[in-house]
């Protein structure tokens, strides 16, 4: 006889207040399906008739369809909350302008696109100045699968407005093994969109590190794609376990119908939608050393010049690599840690400059599941972020520092061996230089100061006396 527990009906989904959703492209449609599964009543609108038709066929019949942005807002009970899943840029301004007359100061717009942080700040300022609705900038990560099954959601903005929409968004977010929803208000203002920008910058760096490892294994060590898939799969059982390592193995194994590895038919030119560039610009703007992130953007730029690269091709090609796979594994791990620590430095610096009050441990926790960067390393980064004073480098956390120090010899060997073999490893090289620079008490900037004072009387500080000093640079 079945037990009582087995026959008990499943608990009804938590009842939620209705949400407006504008934009039913791939991401919007999948979020809508996810919201529907969790009992969030939806009022939706999509401007493009083809996308609207696809969505109509997919969404539950209970979905309410509006015929304009303003009609979405009018159909909602107060306080009204509307999630925008439209292309970042002018389209967001246009939809906000269309919604504006139907929304008051207690209402909420959530921009779920990959918005430029500066646009989000501008929109928040404008809406506040005119007594309009609150704008929450929401970073959404995980691609279409994540949107459908559980994305990581990184919010920034007004705390009371967030509390109103949090239950519905937490219900659809990814969950970690311990059951925590990867969905949080990470700070004020545009903090959520900034954290997503940094997430993408780190994503560029980790992907480039994996591409450099692939290059080293394929050309330098002469491994075939099956062997490289095995290496990536093996890395995914240890300290580097994470989504990008996992799918790197999958990409190696994909085959054309004739058996050719798909990777050999993919042009070696990387595209980019701009978030890596924004992250790099933000690092420069805030004076944060994030060379591993920036170098990954440069590597994509070099990749894009494929015709010139062909014309400039050097013969003979790169030589054999004298390197053990364990060293390469450590190199990728150290470069990954470097990229994350640099990203957290950026978040701390930008957060302090903009007054966003970003909670760094919460950022690491939100990245533990659902997002592209999900990896077991995030658990250790969350511990590190709790351990160090706010704004300090995560390298100050004892356990993370030890993890990096263990991997450092492998990174040194990899960069040295790859350089001798003529295999470019820009992300690994920049990570190594950054780690060495950050972990030595005295560097060579004393010469920079001497030179600046010698030619421009810019002054320098002395090791043995306070204040600003000049050298007596005159020569007889």
Over the window 223 to 262, marking each residue x when it contacts ligand 6PG by CB under 6 A and - when it does not, the resulting string is: ----------------------------------------
The closest residue (CB) to ligand 6PG is: 141
30 binds ligand 6PG (CB under 6 A): no
Q: Label the pairing between strands 152-156 and 134-141.
A: antiparallel
Token digits for 333? 């791990």
Residue 389 Cβ vs ligand 6PG, minimum distance, rounded to whole Å: 29
Q: In the set 63, 117, 120, 141, which binds ligand 6PG (CB under 6 A)?
A: 141
Q: How far is the CB of 84 from ligand 6PG (least distance, A)?
A: 15
Q: What are phi and psi of 315, to 5 degrees?
A: -120, 145
Position 142 contacts ligand 6PG (CB under 6 A):
yes
CA atoms of 41 and 198, how far apart (whole Å): 32
* Catalytic one of 196, 212, 239, 295: 196
295 sits near ligand 6PG (criterion: CB under 6 A): no
Q: Is residue 203 among the annotated active site residues? A: yes
- Decide: is 272 part of the binding site for ligand 6PG (CB under 6 A): yes
- Using rule CB under 6 A, residue 271 touches ligand 6PG: yes
Structural Rg of the chain based on CA atoms: 25
Render 355-399 in DSSP notation, one character per residue: T----HHHHHHHTTSSSTT-BTHHHHHHHHHHHSPTTS-GGGSHH
Q: Which is nearer to ligand 6PG, 128 or 272 (CB)?
A: 272
Using an 8 Å Cβ cutoff, are 27 and 144 in contact? Answer: yes
**Identified binder of ligand 6PG from the candidate list 98, 168, 372, 417, rule CB under 6 A:** 372
Euclidean distance between CA atoms 91 and 80, whole angstroms:
21
Which of 122, 273, 320, 469 is close enough to bind ligand 6PG by CB under 6 A? 273
Return the number of other C-beta atoms located less than 10 Å from residue 361's C-beta: 17
Nearest approach, Cβ of residue 101 and ligand 6PG (Å): 31
Backbone angles phi, psi at 325, to 5 degrees: -60, -30
Residue among 46, 80, 134, 203 flagged as catalytic? 203
State which residue, 18 or 274, has the beta carbon closest to ligand 6PG.
274
| The one segment of 139-147, 182-190, 443-451, 452-460 that binds ligand 6PG by CB under 6 A | 139-147
Which member of 236, 275, 342, 414 binds ligand 6PG (CB under 6 A)?
A: 275
End-to-end CA distance of the chain: 106
Contacts of 315 (CB under 8 A, 6+ apart): none
Cβ–Cβ < 8 Å for 85, 27:
yes
114 lines the binding site for ligand 6PG (CB under 6 A): yes
Contact 390, 359 (CB under 8 A): no
196 is catalytic: yes
Is residue 183 within the footprint of ligand 6PG (CB under 6 A)?
A: no
Q: What Å distances lie between residue 357 and 8, 161, 350, CA to CA?
A: 45, 17, 10
How far apart CA 215 and CA 417 sit, in angstroms, is 13
Residue 267 interacts with ligand 6PG (CB under 6 A)? no
Q: Which has the closest alpha carbon to 383: 396, 370, 369, 371?
A: 396
Binding site for ligand 6PG (CB under 6 A): 114, 141-143, 200, 203, 271-273, 275-276, 371-372
| Active site residues per annotation | 196, 203
């Amino acid at each position: 006889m079945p037990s009582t527990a087995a026959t008990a009906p499943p608990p009804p989904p938590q009842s939620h207040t209705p949400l407006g959703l504008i934009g039913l492209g791939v991401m919007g449609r999948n979020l809508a399906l996810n919201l529907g599964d969790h009992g969030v009543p939806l009022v939706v609108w999509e401007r493009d008739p083809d996308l609207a038709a696809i969505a109509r066929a997919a969404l539950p019949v209970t979905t309410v369809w509006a015929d304009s942005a303003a009609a979405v807002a009018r159909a909602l009970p107060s306080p009204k909350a509307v999630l925008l899943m439209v292309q970042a840029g002018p389209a967001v301004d246009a939809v906000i302008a269309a919604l504006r007359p139907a929304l008051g100061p207690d209402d909420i717009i959530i921009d779920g696109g990959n918005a430029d942080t500066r646009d989000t700040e501008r929109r928040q300022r404008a809406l506040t100045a005119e007594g309009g609705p609150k704008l929450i900038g929401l970073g959404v990560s995980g691609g279409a699968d994540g949107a459908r099954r559980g994305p990581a959601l990184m919010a920034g903005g007004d705390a009371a407005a967030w509390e109103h929409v949090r239950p519905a968004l937490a219900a659809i977010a990814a969950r970690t093994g311990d059951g925590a929803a990867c969905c949080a208000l990470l700070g004020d203002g545009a903090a959520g969109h900034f954290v997503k920008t940094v997430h993408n910058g780190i994503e560029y760096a980790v992907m480039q590190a994996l591409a450099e490892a692939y290059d080293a294994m394929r050309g330098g060590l002469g491994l075939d794609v099956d062997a490289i898939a095995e290496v990536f799969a093996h890395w995914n059982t240890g300290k580097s376990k994470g989504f990008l390592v996992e799918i790197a193995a999958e990409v190696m194994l994909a085959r054309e119908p004739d058996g050719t590895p798909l990777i050999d038919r993919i042009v070696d030119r990387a595209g980019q939608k701009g978030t890596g560039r924004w992250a790099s610009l933000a690092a420069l703007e805030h004076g944060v050393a994030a060379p591993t992130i920036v170098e990954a953007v440069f590597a994509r730029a070099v990749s894009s010049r494929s015709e010139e690269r062909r014309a400039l091709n050097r013969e003979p090609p790169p030589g054999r690599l004298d390197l053990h796979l364990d060293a390469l594994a450590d190199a990728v791990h150290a470069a990954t840690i470097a990229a994350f620590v640099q990203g957290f430095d950026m978040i701390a610096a930008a957060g302090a400059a903009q007054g966003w009050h970003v909670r760094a441990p919460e950022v690491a926790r939100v990245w533990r599941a659902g997002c592209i960067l999900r990896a077991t390393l995030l658990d250790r980064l969350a511990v590190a972020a709790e351990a160090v004073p706010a704004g300090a480098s995560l390298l100050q956390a004892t356990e993370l520092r030890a993890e990096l120090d263990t991997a450092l010899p492998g990174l040194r060997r990899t960069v040295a061996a790859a350089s001798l073999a003529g295999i470019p490893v820009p992300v690994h090289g920049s990570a190594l230089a950054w780690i060495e620079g950050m972990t030595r008490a005295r560097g060579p900037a004393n010469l920079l100061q001497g030179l600046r004072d010698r030619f421009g009387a810019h002054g320098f500080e002395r090791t043995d006396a306070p204040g600003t000093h000049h050298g007596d640079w005159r020569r007889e």
